[in-house]
Amino acid sequence: MTSQLDAYGKAVRLSPVHAAGYRMVQFDLVTLWRIGSGLTEVWDAITRPVAWPQWWRGLEVAEELDRGGADGIGSKQRFVWKGALPYRLMTELTISRIEPLVMIQGEASGDVTGTGIWRFAFEDGITVVRHEWRVRATAPRLKFLASVARPLVCWNHGRIMAWGAQGLARHLGATFVRVERRARA
């Protein structure tokens, strides 16, 4: 253990992780989109990520790095996101599992590492899309921001996801029904 002085000049003991300047910053974010459109139409739009910037506000770059197999497994995309806060987030996502019209799973690297999962269902004429984002911050600026303003980082993610739902509904000419967000520690 090492120590440093706090704002009042009092010695504060730090764990080795804190002494290095960062602590592990894990996010478990879940967003539900309810879109008044058919499941197939929503699936088709989500499975074409290079087209997302046409309708998803906040997504500045979506490029294909690897096409993967005929089934989409192994495909890899790079994304650059800019939300309401003054920072950008770069991620690469490699698709590891696909169940057509049911689920897509990918492994993230870049400014965050972890797993993203899209789940799809059709209920009472509405397509329900559940996005699960279980990641750790790896970029120093994001680690720092999340350690001092975690609720703002979660809020920013929520804004970007809401923009996506609204944009997707407009893109499909569908009724936008609702976005629900949950962030867990």
Q: pLDDT tens digits for 14-54? A: 334 443 455 678 999 999 999 999 999 999 999 999 999 99
Which pLDDT does position 176 carry in this prediction?
A: 82
Weakly modelled stretches of the chain, pLDDT under 50? 1-20, 185
Give this prediction's pTM: 0.85
What percentage of the chain carries pLDDT values higher than 70? Answer: 86
* Rounded Cα–Cα distance for residues 122 and 83 (Å): 29
Which pLDDT does position 184 carry in this prediction?
A: 56
The CA–CA distances, whole Å, from 78 to 65, 93, 110, 160 equal 7, 6, 9, 16
Domain ranges of the chain: 24-184
Residue 137, CB-side half-sphere exposure with 13 Å CA sphere: 23
24-184: CATH topology = Alpha-D-Glucose-1,6-Bisphosphate; Chain A, domain 4 (3.30.530)
